[in-house]
Amino acid sequence: MDKKQQFNVGYLVLAFLAVTAIQVWLGSRDVSQIPYSEYQQLLKVGEITDIVVSENRIRGKFKSANNRRTYFQTRRVDPAIAGELEAAGAKYTGATENTFFTNLLSWVLPILIFFGLWMFLIRRIAERQGMGGMLSIGKSKAKVYVEKDTGVSFKDVAGVDEAKMELEEIVSFLKDQDKYGQLGAHVPKGVLLTGPPGTGKTLLARAVAGEAGVPFFSISGSEFVEMFVGVGAARVRDLFEQARKSAPCIIFIDELDALGRRRGSFGNFGGGHDEKEQTLNQLLAELDGFDPRAGIVLLAATNRPEILDPALLRAGRFDRQVIVDRPDRTGRAAILVVHMRKIKEGPDADPDKIAALTPGFTGADLANLVNEAAIFATRRGGKKVTLQDFTEAMERIVAGSQKRSRLLNPTERERVAYHEMGHALVASSLPGSDPVHKVSIIPRSIGALGYTLQRPTEDRFLITTDELKNRMAVLLAGRAAEELTFGEVSTGAADDLVKVTDIAKQIVTRFGMTKDVGQVVLEQQRTSYLGEAMLNTAPRDYSEATAREVDTAVRNLIDEAYRKAISTLKKRQRDLKKGAHLLLEKESVTPDEFPALKPLAGARNSTAGSA
């Protein structure tokens, strides 16, 4: 219960006690307190009536007023003592005791306890239901951080140098507003941080607040939206009101897509009475209303900028978009240096070597990698974290944890060995394939009975047609090895077929790399084996004849890749048999242990990237 709620409860209790006291006082104005001796005399002469006798008190009514009040009461006296005092002619009465507050508390205190328990239960239920307390339902839930609370500066952020350079202007403005005002410039009203999950967008926002040393209002976009219509808009108003009182300051809204989704989409049919739309409308009004010279900077982060409302992204609201992308090899090494300060690394744990093994990893992935490596080192009883620990951690993250409890029969185990060795040998034979890091037939938690781990040596951003076709051949090489060795195939290539089909479809429909279909885009970006893009939900907008051509082209590409895998393995059948037997013996094989896995002369080692 906050201070305002405590004040309201205390005020109600005081008002209740005051009303009770007034009623008791008004009732006591018409009652006379008389001595017990006077009561006995009045009783003898018949001047009283309507007598009520209790254990310690006698109440009644006077027959005639005679300048008296209407009612009387007296304290009872022991009859033996009363007789002695009456014989002596003394005036006497019983002792009066003030029991008003005792009697009052005897029934007021239980009510107060019940009321307090009721308020506590109501508050707990409201918090559990996500209502945040009924008495403060329209207040902002933003957590206010100051410099000592964020504990983050630009030295704690690595691998995103371009984004840091753009945000340094924000810090400079907050520290020295007069410098920018001399030429009439003002800081952008809003800065939107976009990029894949885990790239450090929230960390960057906290670093800006830490560098500038200003209050930092942090809230998630989903916290604005409640079950009551209008509550989100009230919270937006309250948040900006708090910010104006604390200017210069930074407002950070994480997961902006939960609040700023395009209006009229996803089943809303353009209605204007939806709670999210009202909240978004209020945010747009606040962005138009505040003066950027006041020193309020709005930062927001999202990994889905394509679904944001266009009105939110126009100039004058979010003036600047900063892309926080996955780090390159140099950036990954810098990030690893930051996280490896917290562990005791061995002499061979070179951040640059580890960065070479982790292409595509984000800052969050690298932080997890360092932690997993420290766990592996602790588990084996080591005093320092070595490069081998990082390799084991990387394999766990990429391929899943080992499941040695899953026992395969000898026939299945042999088939898996040939399957995985087929992948590895074709990868080492074809140009444009990623170098083989390890081949294993130890089952993993992701459902794989074995795996071939390939890690690139450099970052790539373009990939050619031949490199894509070679990658398809590598994926189909496992099934090709089974067919060459056993004369039939198994279901072990199910995941490989999914990836191969995905690549073939993108070659035809997205990259325009086939002559039959031509250089035309038939599908937009979508989640695929080649990268992490948004799924295209638009209906197919080409004819059945074109669809037949697409299907034929995809099937031809897959058949061509399979023939290439068969042809390559026929030339290396001796290595295939020797490598499979070595796998059955050792369960895991590296190129150092089996040199045939190293790239052949003329096979250019390169990294597959998402074009």
Q: Which residues are designated catalytic?
A: 420
CA angle, corner 376, sides to 373 and 381, nearest 5? 130
Angstrom distance (rounded) from CA 25 to CA 30: 10
Cβ neighbours of 458 (radius 10 Å): 12
Q: What pairing do the DSSP bridges indicate for beta strands 451-454 and 588-589? A: unpaired
Angstrom distance (rounded) from CA 398 to CA 357: 11
Helical (H) or strand (E) element with 19 = helix 3-28
User: Which amino acid does the sequence have at 316?
Assistant: G
How many helices, marked H, and strands, marked E, lie in the chain? Answer: 20, 13
Cβ neighbours of 28 (radius 10 Å): 12
Largest CA distance in the chain: 138
CA angle, corner 135, sides to 131 and 137, nearest 5? 40
- Residues 6+ positions from 124 with CB-CB distance below 8 Å: none
Angstrom distance (rounded) from CA 540 to CA 291: 47
CB 584 within 8 A of CB 442: no
How many residues are there in the chain?
Answer: 611
CA angle, corner 182, sides to 180 and 183, nearest 5? 80
> Is the Cα torsion angle 359, 362, 363, 365 positive or negative in sign?
negative
User: Which amino acid does the sequence have at 195?
Assistant: G
The token pair that represents 275 in the structure block: 């709670």
- The angle that helices 494-509 and 465-486 make with each other, rounded to 10 degrees, is 150
Using DSSP, state whether 599 is helix, strand or coil: coil
CB 467 within 8 A of CB 606: yes
Angstrom distance (rounded) from CA 255 to CA 200: 13
The 3-state DSSP composition of the chain as helix, strand, coil percent (nearest 5) reads: 50, 10, 35
CB 281 within 8 A of CB 264: no
- Tell me 262's DSSP state: P
Nearest to 142 by CA among 299, 9, 36: 299
